[in-house]
């Protein structure tokens, strides 16, 4: 029987948790915020992905004592000067409404020929006193309209390069193998497997 290693992932997002648990596999017992009794909505006050990831990881380490990792992701659209970027979750307002965010993005891209965009994820890992960062990126384009029901967030309007469908039409396994979070997590796991 494999002995599972325990680590907190500073999130309660069910999609992200199941994605990360699938990527990290049998060896890891990934605890969520609710698993450790944390119901605080940790404020993300930095203006960079790295800054926000670090804030969340430090909060858990300081208040709950667990080794932990936290991620922050943004969708950067070239023709919008990198928006929504670090504000991707609240692009259309503070209520984290994915459909409203997508609609606003499509509206703001009306008439734009350059539809290039990328997702970027930064993971901050705190083990003991040390913080390390792992980054993953996937390039692609914003489609003209949403397609697919899978995934979450901007998945129905993001088509990764060299693919013919949006993230929302891929299986979790397909998406994880090329996604920003999948790539950042692969680096995290490679590091964790060596320590
Ligand atoms: P978070 O930092 O992972 O919470 O991501 C911030 C926002 O980016 C989310 O609220 C989503 O709108 C969007 N986002 C993050 N990851 C993905 C993804 O894999 N697909 C689509 N949208 C995402």
Give residue-wise pLDDT tens across range 20-68. 888 788 888 999 999 999 999 888 899 999 999 999 999 999 999 999 9
Q: Which helix (H) or strand (E) holds 54?
A: helix 49-64
Q: What percent of the chain has pLDDT over 90?
A: 76
Is residue 1 scored above 70 in pLDDT?
no
Q: Tokens standing for 91?
A: 């692009």
User: Counting atoms of ligand 1 from 1, which one is nearest the CA of 52?
Assistant: 2
CA distance linking residue 194 with residue 185, whole number of Å: 14
CA distances from 192 to 17, 34, 52, 78, 134 (A): 18, 23, 21, 34, 11
Nearest CA to ligand 1 atom 12: 153
What pLDDT digit, counting tens, does each position of 167-186 carry? Answer: 999 998 899 899 999 999 99
At 137, is the pLDDT very low, low, confident or very high (cuts 50, 70, 90)?
Answer: very high
User: Counting atoms of ligand 1 from 1, which one is nearest the CA of 15?
Assistant: 19
Say what the pTM is: 0.92
Q: What pLDDT is stored for residue 3 in this prediction?
A: 75
Residue in the structure block whose two tokens are 């290693």: 5
Number of H helices, E strands in the chain: 5, 7
Residue in the structure block whose two tokens are 């994820």: 121
Active site residue 72: yes
From 72, 78, 97, 155, the catalytic residue: 72
* CB contact at 8 A, 50 and 71: no
At 18, is the pLDDT very low, low, confident or very high (cuts 50, 70, 90)?
Answer: confident
Nearest CA to ligand 1 atom 10: 89
Query: Any residues with Cβ below 6 Å from ligand 1, and which?
Result: 71-73, 75, 88-89, 96, 98, 101, 151-155, 167, 179, 181
Q: What is the mean pLDDT of residues 135-144?
A: 98
Q: What percent of the chain has pLDDT over 70?
A: 99
Q: What pLDDT is stored for residue 84 in this prediction?
A: 98
> Ligand 1 test: best mutation among 49, 52, 73, 118, most atoms within 8 Å of CB?
73
| Residue 71, Cβ density class (10 Å: 0-12 exposed, 13-18 middle, ≥19 buried) | buried
Angle (CA) 102-19-105 rounded to 5° is 10
* CB contact at 8 A, 93 and 100: yes
CA distance linking residue 161 with residue 116, whole number of Å: 9
Q: What is the mean pLDDT of residues 118-139?
A: 97
DSSP 2: P
């Amino acid at each position: 029987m494999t002995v599972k290693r325990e680590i907190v992932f500073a999130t309660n997002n069910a999609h992200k948790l199941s994605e990360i648990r699938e990527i990290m596999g049998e060896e890891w017992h990934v605890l969520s915020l609710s698993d450790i009794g944390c119901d605080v909505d940790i404020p993300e006050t930095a203006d960079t992905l790295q800054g926000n990831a670090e804030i969340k990881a430090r909060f858990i380490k300081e208040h709950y004592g667990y080794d932990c990792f936290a991620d922050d992701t943004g969708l950067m659209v070239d023709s919008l000067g990198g928006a929504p970027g670090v504000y991707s979750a609240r692009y259309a307002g503070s209520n984290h409404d994915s459909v409203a965010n997508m609609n606003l993005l499509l509206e703001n891209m009306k008439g734009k020929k350059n539809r290039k965009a990328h997702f970027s994820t930064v993971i901050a890992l705190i083990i003991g006193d040390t913080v390390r960062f792992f980054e993953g990126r996937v390039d692609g384009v914003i489609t003209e309209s949403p397609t697919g029901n899978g995934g979450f967030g901007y998945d129905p309007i993001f088509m990764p390069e060299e693919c013919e469908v949006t993230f929302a039409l891929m299986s979790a396994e397909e998406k994880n193998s090329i996604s920003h979070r999948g790539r950042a997590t692969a680096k995290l796991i490679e590091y964790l497997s060596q320590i």
